[in-house]
Structure 1
Amino acid sequence: MIDALAPIFVGPLADFADRLALADDPRPGLRGSELLDPAVLGPILERFARRYDQPEPRAVASMWTKWHFWMLLTPVVAASLLLEHGLPTDLDEVEVIVAPDGQTTAFKLPHGGGPATPADGFERFGALVDGHIEPLIRALAAQSGATAKVLWSNVGNLFENLLRQIEASGLARGPGPAQARALMASRDWPGRRPNPLFEPVRYVERGGDRKRVRRVCCIRYLIPSLELCSTCPLEKARPA
């Protein structure tokens, strides 16, 4: 565990205390940028696929991203929004600890980061997006055939859900949550491209209840043993 982050690793975040470590952690890892190499990423996805009886490559990549980015975003976003603490996350900087079954379990960072006072959400999360999420999604899409839109939707769903829980906790004292909300409300990433994190989920009324619904399906249903998730935008059951 990184000592500066200890205050956030309590309650529901306690299980993430060992998900971020420093370079001297004895667990073996691979350089994050190695995941961009098909010769490395392909076998990792193949090992991950063995948990399913009838794996489908696009759905396997989608499910893998959920695990990978859950392990990464949860502590990194919590540190940013609760502690105003920035962390190094570039694929060129971090090592990824991968279990024998291909699942990402933790990250080794080159240093423990430090105080950060970004002007807006794009500055707050720009390095995370540009240095880790975007290049890895490009590699995963090329490897599996899954669209980048689907994989970005997984990131957005995780990001919004984590933000919602942090807001509900009342523990954030800085501008971070408001900046994160503003980021997701913007159609464009300043100066260059559409915002891949724009409105990843919607809240709709169904049967008198307010329901959280993803904008884009994660395509997990392409694996026959998996059902539609509780936030799926598809209203029908699995296609015949």
Structure 2
Amino acid sequence: MAFRSATLAADIIWRTPLPSPESALATSVREKINELRPHLLDFIRLDETPPHQAKTLAQWTRPGELSSLLATYSDHIYRNQPTLPHENKPLISLWAQWYIGLLVPPLMLALLTEAQTIALSPEHFHVEFHETGRAACFWIDVRPDRFTSLLSPADRMEILITRALMPVVDALAATGEINAKLIWSNTGYLIHWYLGEMKTLLGDELLDTLRHRCFFAKQLSDGQDNPLWRTVVPRDGLLVRRTCCQRYRLPDVQQCGDCTLK
């Protein structure tokens, strides 16, 4: 009986498929997020099938699609003040804050705490939009990136900037309604804030290195301009946002607690 049981167990082990590198990485990232920042799983799905209405960057940036999303969001923002002229610059600024604000923290957590990194090319990301037109949930097709996995944390952050964020900012700037510098200013402040949230995980030395590379290196390592350069600046011993995000110009939208205009 013992021999037969052992044989049966061995058969089960051999017939059970081994987890793929993709599923193993997705599980590891999901467990890390659940342990450290479980609320991020409210709007991040890892290696799960996206719903039919979720869209890739190539899909939502089509002129008709993006215009429809922004029009829906504009109607929502101005719903209580329908006679006011609609201002597209602050509207797109806030729309981008939703999109990038939901996406960046979990990606930073994955990039800076995992040995392997997630491939950040836009085709691996689907976004589900809220009924109001802004981003609501991201569905990530997890693929290990062997090249990025060999990089330092600071270089990984550069990959986040160039692969995951630049295409989004460029698409919004292409509307002609907003300057890319404003979106990067908001994004720089977001990254600065979340680096502070990760201080106990990163340690002071790495945190200082990342802040320097992100905000005080004028160029990226590939030679192109660093879009986060001086998006936060020293003031009274603290790093503070350099530029107002313009959301105060929208009706019924609360002003930032540390608005530069105060």
- Residue 61 of structure 1 deviates from its aligned partner by 0.5
**Structure 2: how far apart are the matches of 1:67 and 1:44?**
13
- CA offsets, 1:36-59, max 9 Å, x none? 322111111111222222542111
Q: Are 1:4 and 2:37 counterparts?
A: no
State how far apart, in whole Å, the 1-side matches of 2:35 and 2:226 are.
32
Q: Which runs of 5+ in 1 are unaligned?
A: 236-240
Residue correspondences, number: 228
- Asked whether the 8 Å contact 1:59–1:223 carries over to 2, the reply is yes
| Closer, same or farther: CA 191–111 of 1 in aligned 2, 3 Å | closer
> Partner of 1:128: helix, strand, or coil?
helix
What residue is the counterpart of 2:8 in the other structure? none
Q: In the alignment, which of 21, 35, 38 is matched to residue 14 of structure 1?
A: 38
Q: CA deviation at 1:25?
A: 4.1
1:20 Cα shift? 3.2
RMSD: 2.7
Q: Is 1:160 aligned to 2:192, yes or no? A: yes
Aligned to 1:238: none
CA distance, structure 2, for counterparts of residue 64 and residue 187 of structure 1: 27
SS at match of 1:192: coil
**SS of residue matched to 2:183:** helix
Give the aligned residue type for 1:47. T
CA drift at 1:152: 0.5
TM-score by length of 1: 0.82
Q: C-alpha offsets along residues 193-236 of structure 1, whole Å, 9 cap, x if unaligned?
A: 3211123223423xxxx66531111111221433542222224x
Q: Kindly name which structure, 1 or 2, has the bigger radius of gyration based on alpha carbons.
A: 2
1:32 touches 1:95 (CA, 8 Å); kept in 2?
Answer: yes
Distance between the aligned counterparts of 1:58 and 1:118, measured in 2?
Answer: 36
Q: Deviations over 1:170-199 (max 9, x none)?
A: 123798645422312211123433211123
- Whether the aligned pair in 2 keeps the contact of 1:203 and 1:211 (CA below 8 Å) is yes
Q: What per-residue deviation string (whole Å, max 9, x for no partner) do you get for residues 8-55 of structure 1?
A: 324772111241322524464112222332211111111122222254
User: Is 1:188 equivalent to 2:215 in the alignment?
Assistant: no
> Could you say which structure has the higher strand fraction?
1
Distance 2:116 2:53 in 1: 26
User: Identity of aligned pairs, percent?
Assistant: 21
Give the superposition deviation at 1:114: 6.3
Which residue number in structure 2 is paired with residue 226 of structure 1? 253
Q: What does residue 157 of structure 2 align with?
A: 125
1:108 is paired with a residue of what secondary structure?
strand
TM-score, normalization by structure 2:
0.76
Q: CA deviation at 1:110?
A: 2.3
Q: Which runs of 5+ in 2 are unaligned?
A: 1-22, 79-83
**1:35 paired residue among 37, 60, 66:** 60
**What aligned pairs does 1:1-240 form with structure 2 within 5 A after superposition?**
2-10=26-34, 13-18=37-42, 19-26=44-51, 28-53=53-78, 54=84, 55-113=86-144, 116-119=149-152, 121=154, 123-143=155-175, 145-167=177-199, 170-172=200-202, 177-184=207-214, 185-205=216-236, 213-235=240-262
